[in-house]
Amino acid sequence: MAVAVTALAAAIVRGTLGTVGIALGALFLLPIAGVYRPIGNWLPSALANAPVDLLNGTHHLSHYLPAFAVTAAVSAAALAIAALRLREI
């Protein structure tokens, strides 16, 4: 997800400082948005503790499926958009 967001940012602004700013801003906003519980389980940041929770038995795999699906879809879309924008160069 981080690579896809960075690629999209690079395709949009074309400058190093702008790319870093947009990518960091987007990636820092995700955990902040996760504070709002109804969408918190759907954000990619919900996957941060998934390995530990699955090994401890705290949560079942189905608990993390929405976050995994959103992460995969957003990553694929961001990479596709970045590739299309960079093809126009």
Domain extents in the chain: 2-87
- Calculate mean pLDDT across residues 68-82: 96
What's the pTM value of the predicted model, to 2 decimals? 0.84
Q: Categorise residue 59: left if φ over 0, alpha if ψ from -120 to 50, beta otherwise.
A: beta
10-59 pLDDT, tens per residue? 999 989 999 999 999 999 998 899 888 889 889 998 898 899 999 999 99
For range 80-87, the mean pLDDT: 95
pLDDT, residue 29, reads: 92
8 A C-beta contact, residue 27 and residue 49:
no
Distance (Å, whole) CA 21 – CA 18: 5
